[in-house]
Amino acid sequence: MWRHIASNALTFLVVLIFLAGGVILWGQTQYTAEGPLDEQICLRVQPGATMRGVSRQLEAQNAVTNATIFRIGVDYADKTALLKAGSWLIPENASMAEISDIITRGGASTCGTEVVYRIGVTRQLVEVRELDPATNRYVTLAEFSPAEEEAPEEFVRVRAQGDTRYRVAIAEGVTSWQIVEGLKMADVLTGDLNEVPPEGSLAPDSYEVRAGDAREALITRMRNAQDAYLAAAWEGRAPDLPLANPYEALILASIIEKETGVASERGQVASVFTNRLRRGMRLQTDPTVIYGITGGEGVLGRGIRQSELRAATPYNTYVIEGLPPTPIANPGRASIEAAVNPLETDYIFFVAASLNPADGHLFAETLEEHNANVALYRALERERDANQ
C-alpha cells in the first residue's frame, strides 16, 4: 500500500512540476508577446510611484493583459527597483518586456508636457505644449512673451510638475546678444552671463535642458556645436573658394542666413556672393549695414537711410571691399554648408521676388536683367502703397 501511495505521490509531483513549467512558459510568452495597445499612449509615472501601482495603470489603460504577470516579469528581470518617474511614450503593441525597459531605463521624458523657450530674431516666446500620443504631434496649451506678458496659469501649473521637459530653441539668424537676452528670460536656467559670446559662435538649434542647468553651460554647448559644424563643413568645402579660412566662411554664412529665409535658395544666394568676391565686386548687402547700425542688439525697426548707405563703416559692404570684419548673426548648418559649397552659377545680382519674403528672390547674371527685376519689385511697392 505504501508503495502504491508513494507511486501516486511521485506521479502527482511530476504532474505539478509539469504544470508549473507550463505556467512559467506561458507567463514568459505573455511577457514577451505583442501587447494589446491599438494606439500609443503617454504613461505618466509620478515620483514615489511603485511598480505595483504602475502595473495597475498599464492594465487599466489596456497596455498589458495582466498586471500580475507584468510585475512578476519585471521582478524576474530584476528591474522592480529601477522604476523611473517621468512621462513615457508607450508604442502600440509594445510587449510587457518592452514597456518594462521604457519605464526603467531613465533619461528625459519621452512624452507629456514640454516648455519651450523660443529665442527668435524679433521676439522671445515661451510655449507650453503637450504630445498627443494618437497623432504623435505636439498641441500648444499656452504661449506668451515673457518680456510683455504675465505667465499664464497653465505655465505655472506645468512648471510645478516633476516630469515636465524643457527645451531652449534658438532660431537661425539670431545674434549673440539676442541669445544672451533670451537666456536671461529662461527662468528654468540659473547663473549669470557676464559677456556676450563672439558673433556667429553659437549654433542655432533646439537644446534640451533640465531645471537648474547653468546658462553658461548651455552657451558652452552651443559654442562646441558651432565649432564642430564649421570644422566639418570647412573640411568638405568646394575647391577654389574666395575664402581664406573657416572664420571667413562663418562670416559669409551669416550674411546668407540674413539674406534669405527660403531654404531652397541658400545655394543661389551663396553663389552670388561667391561670384562677387571672385570678381572683386562689393557685396552690397543690406543686412551688414544694419548690423553696423545696431551692433546686433535687436532689430533696426526702420528702413536704412541714404546717409547710412554712404557712411564708411566696417560693416557697410556698399563701401568696403570684401567681407565685413565679423559675422553679423549666428548662422545655421544649412547656411554654413551653402557658404562652403555654393551652387555653380553666373548670378551676381538678386532682388526680392515679391513683398512676401517667403517668395524668395529673382536672380540675374547681368545688370540689365537685374534692373528689370528691380523695376518689377518697385511696381509691387507702388501698388501696395496705392491700396493703403
At residue 227, what are phi and psi to the nearest 5 degrees? -60, -45
- Roughly what angle, to the nearest 10 degrees, separates helices 333-340 and 246-259? 120
Domain count, the chain: 3
Q: How is residue 263 annotated by DSSP? A: G
Cα 149 from Cα 135, distance rounded (Å): 31
Give the CA diameter of the chain.
120
Closest CA to 215 of 231, 200, 194, 239: 194
**3-state secondary structure at position 212:** coil
Residue 6 — very low, low, confident or very high, per pLDDT cuts 50/70/90? Answer: very low
At residue 228, what are phi and psi to the nearest 5 degrees? -65, -45
Last residue of one domain, picked from the residues 211, 230, 249: 230
Look at residue 21 and tell me if it is in a domain. Answer: no
Q: Read out DSSP for 222-248?
A: HHHHHHHHHHHHHHTPPTT-S--SHHH
Q: What grid cell was written down for 288?
A: 551688414
152 with 34, same domain: the answer is: no
248 with 365, same domain: the answer is: yes
Which range of residues forms the domain containing residue 63?
Answer: 28-104
212 with 181, same domain: the answer is: yes
98 with 121, same domain: the answer is: no
244 with 370, same domain: the answer is: yes
| Model confidence pLDDT, tens digit, residues 21-66 | 455 665 577 788 888 988 888 888 888 889 999 999 999 999 998 8
243 close to 254: Cβ distance less than 8 angstroms: no
Look at residue 340 and tell me if it is in a domain. Answer: yes
Look at residue 8 and tell me if it is in a domain. Answer: no
223 with 248, same domain: the answer is: no
- In sequence order, the 6+-apart residues with CB closer than 8 A to the CB of 199 are 175, 176, 254, 296, 326, 327, 328, 329, 330
172 with 221, same domain: the answer is: yes
Last residue of one domain, picked from the residues 176, 198, 230: 230
197 close to 219: Cβ distance less than 8 angstroms: yes
Amino acid present at 51: M
Residue 158 — very low, low, confident or very high, per pLDDT cuts 50/70/90? Answer: confident
Which stretches within the chain are classed as H helix? 2-32, 51-60, 67-76, 96-104, 153-159, 176-185, 215-235, 246-259, 266-279, 286-294, 306-310, 333-340, 367-387
Q: Which range, of 14-18, 51-55, 299-303, 308-312, averages the lowest pLDDT? A: 14-18
Cα angle 70, 74, 80; round to 5: 125
Name the percent of the chain lying above pLDDT 70.
93
**Strand duo 165-170 + 113-119: pairing:** parallel
| Model confidence pLDDT, tens digit, residues 86-138 | 888 898 899 999 999 999 987 777 778 899 999 999 989 999 998 888 888 88
- What does pTM read for this prediction? 0.81
Q: What grid cell was written down for 349?
A: 545680382
Q: What grid cell was written down for 33?
A: 508577446
Order of strands across the sheet with 137-144? 137-144, 124-132, 113-119, 165-170, 206-209
Cα 63 from Cα 99, distance rounded (Å): 9
**Strand duo 137-144 + 349-352: pairing:** unpaired
Look at residue 344 and tell me if it is in a domain. Answer: yes
For the chain, how big is the Rg over CA atoms in Å? 30
Cα 387 from Cα 372, distance rounded (Å): 23
Residue 321 — very low, low, confident or very high, per pLDDT cuts 50/70/90? Answer: very high
Torsion sign across C-alpha atoms 381, 386, 387, 388? positive
- In sequence order, the 6+-apart residues with CB closer than 8 A to the CB of 363 are 268, 272, 345, 347, 349, 350
What's the CATH number where 38 sits?
3.30.1490.480
Look at residue 120 and tell me if it is in a domain. Answer: yes
Last residue of one domain, picked from the residues 81, 104, 127: 104
Look at residue 10 and tell me if it is in a domain. Answer: no
